[in-house]
Structure 1
Amino acid sequence: MPQKPKRLDDLKSTRDWWGVELRNWRRVRKLSSRQLGELVNLSGTTIERIEKNERPCDTALAGRLDEVLDAGGALRRLWSRVEADKCRADADNSGCTESVDGVELRVPGILESDRSTRLDGVPPVERRAFAMSGAAALIPIPFTSLIPKAGQSPPPKTVHAEDIEQVDAAATTLAGWDNLHGGGGMVREASVGHLNWARNLLSVKCPPALEKNLFTAVGRLAITIGASAFDAYEHDNARRLVTFGVHCAEAADNWHLRARALNVLARQDIWLGSPNTGLTHAENGLVRADRLTPREQAMLHNARARAWAKMEKRQEALAAIGRSDDAFSRARPGEDVVWMSFYDHAQHYGDTGHALFDIALLPGQSPREAAERLRTAVNGHTNAYVRSRAFSGTKLATLMMSTGDPHEAVATANRALNEVGRLRSKRAADDVRALSLASARHRSPEVIELRRRIGAVVRA
């Protein structure tokens, strides 16, 4: 006689609640544990143990179970709460890694400090701070321990339009900081709390009319933070965050956000020396080009051009630049979403100039067109896009140093270095290192001084 299934307690923990929901969805779909196991390449016994919280589960498996059970994201969203609760339980003692749909993010607990009641072993900077404030006798612990834990603000019980507006505002603010200061430093740290709060909105009740807007806002924030992580060379985090953004875009049926995400993935792979993979991302973004605006099409064709140029495929790169120029010529004011505001005349010329830069360095090629486009970008970028202006200025100086007048290159380079020195951007730092290498064959005093200055900027 078959045993009656074990009664599950959904009040014991969020993880147990998730197991109950998994069993409920399996029964709704009229599947035995063995049948469900076959769909995800597990045994029926393993499925039963997962339901009973006797076997570990992870984000990827939770997402797969949600998919095969056609749960509409319910299991996936509830799993994000399981992860969040686990992290909160661990946060008092150490940092914790949270994960949603494969996106992992290091979330600090309370700031690390000596918990002893004496100042023995406290770093000198903290002892000095206490001495200067006269607080040493009153508060004999490191002052950093007074800072509260991060990420403790609970999400609302139900998503409202105002919550989505907050996520959008956070994405806009962080993108502005990233363009102005680079992806490292405070920009990176500030993003962690924003993303934790935003992604928790996916696990609470949301009116159907707001679901697409919610996925769009959270996906946009993840892509923005992922792009910053790329600039800070946190490449694994960047890839996971932007891939999460792709999933959010697809859940929202938002082709514009999907194009933006695939553009970032393409640029990252091209930067990391995998132009073929970058080309695939760019062309994937253009699969339904009819659903994209001219600026979005131009952006992705530029990614294609940069990939072809890195592969030294001159004709293919020039053809992609031509298609990008053609698309950009059809752009009209007011037709793009807010996150495409960066793609203006200066950005287009800078992007195409970067692709032409790689072509210009091939044997027998003229640097003139690349230099003109990069110069247009440098002159056109506003102060809101300091990093983009620094990128184009550094590339222009490197091109001049490699193919033209080193005297003019030094003047251009010094202007770019004024801005690179204010950024927290590892990409910008690597670009000026490349400029230093290009200048090594020139021995004039001004070039030698430029290389000395580059060294100082990179070390800062």
Structure 2
Amino acid sequence: MPQRPKKLDPTASPKWKFGAVLRHWRKEVNNLSCAELGKLVHVSDDTIRSIEVGIRKCPEKLAPKLDEALGTDGVFEHWWPEVFGDADNKRRDADKHPKRSPDGGVSPGRSRMLDLHASTSAPAGSAESVHRRNFLAAASVATAFLPGIPSLTLTEATPLPTRVKPRDIEQIWEAATVISGWDNSYGGGGMVREAATAQLRWVAGLLHLNGTNEPLRSELFAAVSRLGLVVGASDFDSCHHDDAQAAFVFAARCAEEAKEWHLRAKTYSLLARQQIWLGNPDEGLTYAELGLARSDRLTATEQAMLQTARARAFAKLGQVQQTLSAVSAADDAFAKSNPSEDPSWMRYYDVAQHNGDTGHALYDLALAGHDPARASDRFLTAVQEHTDAYVRSRAMSRTKLASLLMARGDPRQAVVIGHDALDEVGRLRSRRAADDLRELGAAAAEHSRIGDVADLRERIAATVQA
């Protein structure tokens, strides 16, 4: 009968802390046995086990191999001199140390948030070339490098239940709703993204529990799919595009497992929007049309959402008639919307959202020389109709309206709207909103001899650099 793993006390000694963190990354994060990790780093399972329980010193040459196998971006190699080596040498090989953020923290490395059994490499045009690595569980390691900062030891993950109950599924839905609200109000970066990612990592483990019967199993997959969408949206807004794509693909597979056509449609809408944002409108169009498959199973609101994505893709491709036709199809579908028929997560797609999204498609046509009034009218409606629950959407519609007026209308009017947008964007942690501000600043450059425009550009520069 296998022995119960020895309970570790990370506060007992540096060696025990090293062992506790190693066990966490091996077992909880990477789901490896001692033997499996030993094969990866070419040592015996007894060696791994002995290091974890603090009765054996980790060989210096083994530390970087552990980092590579577990994806910890140099943490064990950097920490080794502190625990086992000569203190005078603990800052050697500085070039090999983990990259640091301006505040002295350890920058995250590669992420393995979700095992999708599929490629999650950055799509063409992705702004992100390096995956992130979440160090939540190894906070004790990171803070060890910050003199004067109290150490926080988080080495023991919350265990999963033995079986899934209806209240667990309710909690997942509630978590998705809360985090989605934060994302809309504060942007997807910072604490919002970290909270969302931690939630998804934990609930994904519920999918592997045995003994979950139908229909509870389908309900579980649907709830996890919804949370995956929220996490992906947060990643998308903070421009962590590899992680966003991974979360969206994961959500799509969960939706299909649950036979949930509404969640599937929302997933493909977000995948389409992301690809269009990344400059891949042809791929975005494909995702939008995949979402429209079996449109007879979708509500009118969902059809409008996906037709809008088609319109935005066609606009980026410079296909004017197809854009106008898709906008018309979106308008026709939205005119038939009945909120009582929509799932709860579609409540966001109201008059304001529809006008803002179609306005984005018409915006690209306006910049290409077509009538700007069609886009500006829709952006104005979006700004007027968005509530404080959707600050980011309102701010982005304001910014686009200001950019359009700066390029094709009255630059002084654009300045007023631009300052209103800045008042809201300055409160958000949203890379997408910041990128829209940069576009406004570029459009304003042509009118920089106007004093008010110059002031707006200075404020934009200060805001996006903050």
Do Structure 1 and Structure 2 share a fold, with TM-score over 0.5? yes
* 1:168 equivalent in alignment to 2:162: no
Question: Does the Cα contact within 8 Å between 1:102 and 1:240 map onto a contact in 2?
Answer: no
> Residue 208 of structure 1 aligns to a residue in which SS?
coil
Deviation at 1:88, TM superposition (A): 13
Matched letter for residue 185 of structure 2? L
Distance 2:283 2:38 in 1: 36
The equivalent of 1:400 in structure 2 is 405
The equivalent of 1:247 in structure 2 is 253
Deviation at 1:148, TM superposition (A): 2.5
Q: CA RMSD in A?
A: 2.9
Task: Pick one of 361, 384, 398 that aligns with 1:379.
Answer: 384
* 1:237 equivalent in alignment to 2:243: yes
The equivalent of 2:337 in structure 1 is 331
Distance 2:323 2:174 in 1: 37
> Residue 111 of structure 1 aligns to a residue in which SS?
helix
> Residue 146 of structure 1 aligns to a residue in which SS?
coil
* 1:390 equivalent in alignment to 2:395: yes
The equivalent of 1:419 in structure 2 is 424
* 1:428 equivalent in alignment to 2:433: yes
Deviation at 1:98, TM superposition (A): 4.5
Matched letter for residue 456 of structure 2? L
* Deviation string, structure 1 residues 323-350 (Cα, Å, up to 9, x no partner): 0000000011311111111101100010
> Residue 114 of structure 2 aligns to a residue in which SS?
strand
Deviation at 1:300, TM superposition (A): 0.3
Task: Pick one of 100, 108, 112 that aligns with 1:97.
Answer: 112
* 1:222 equivalent in alignment to 2:228: yes
- Unpaired runs of at least 5, structure 1: 1-8, 14-51, 58-85, 127-141
Task: Pick one of 145, 161, 184 that aligns with 2:189.
Answer: 184
> Residue 439 of structure 1 aligns to a residue in which SS?
helix
Count of aligned residue pairs for this structure pair? 361
Structure 1 pair 54/361, CA: closer, same or farther in 2 (3 Å)? Answer: closer
Structure 1 pair 199/313, CA: closer, same or farther in 2 (3 Å)? Answer: same
* Deviation string, structure 1 residues 248-290 (Cα, Å, up to 9, x no partner): 0100000100000000100000000000000000000001100
Structure 1 pair 122/311, CA: closer, same or farther in 2 (3 Å)? Answer: closer
* 1:306 equivalent in alignment to 2:312: yes
* 1:366 equivalent in alignment to 2:371: yes
The equivalent of 1:318 in structure 2 is 324
Distance 2:459 2:436 in 1: 14
Percent of aligned pairs with the same amino acid: 48
Deviation at 1:55, TM superposition (A): 12
Question: Does the Cα contact within 8 Å between 1:167 and 1:217 map onto a contact in 2?
Answer: yes
The equivalent of 1:277 in structure 2 is 283
Question: Does the Cα contact within 8 Å between 2:295 and 2:303 map onto a contact in 1?
Answer: yes
Distance 2:225 2:39 in 1: 27
What is the TM-score when the length of structure 1 is the normalising length?
Answer: 0.74
- What does residue range 67-82 of structure 1 map to in structure 2 within 5 Å? none
Question: Does the Cα contact within 8 Å between 1:159 and 1:207 map onto a contact in 2?
Answer: no
The equivalent of 2:139 in structure 1 is 111
The equivalent of 2:53 in structure 1 is none
The equivalent of 1:30 in structure 2 is none
The equivalent of 1:42 in structure 2 is none
Matched letter for residue 369 of structure 1? R
Deviation at 1:203, TM superposition (A): 1.1
Distance 2:386 2:367 in 1: 25
The equivalent of 2:26 in structure 1 is none
Structure 1 pair 412/218, CA: closer, same or farther in 2 (3 Å)? Answer: same
Structure 1 pair 122/253, CA: closer, same or farther in 2 (3 Å)? Answer: closer
Structure 1 pair 97/399, CA: closer, same or farther in 2 (3 Å)? Answer: same
* Deviation string, structure 1 residues 6-60 (Cα, Å, up to 9, x no partner): xxx9x699xxxxxxxxxxxxxxxxxxxxxxxxxxxxxxxxxxxxxx979999xxx
What is the TM-score when the length of structure 2 is the normalising length?
Answer: 0.73
Question: Does the Cα contact within 8 Å between 2:116 and 2:250 map onto a contact in 1?
Answer: yes
The equivalent of 1:139 in structure 2 is none
Distance 1:165 1:87 in 2: 33
Distance 2:336 2:209 in 1: 42
Distance 2:455 2:216 in 1: 58
The equivalent of 2:265 in structure 1 is 259
Matched letter for residue 216 of structure 1? A
Task: Pick one of 140, 151, 160 that aligns with 1:155.
Answer: 160
The equivalent of 1:26 in structure 2 is none
Distance 2:269 2:345 in 1: 13
Distance 1:287 1:55 in 2: 47
Deviation at 1:87, TM superposition (A): 7.5
* 1:208 equivalent in alignment to 2:214: yes
The equivalent of 2:14 in structure 1 is none
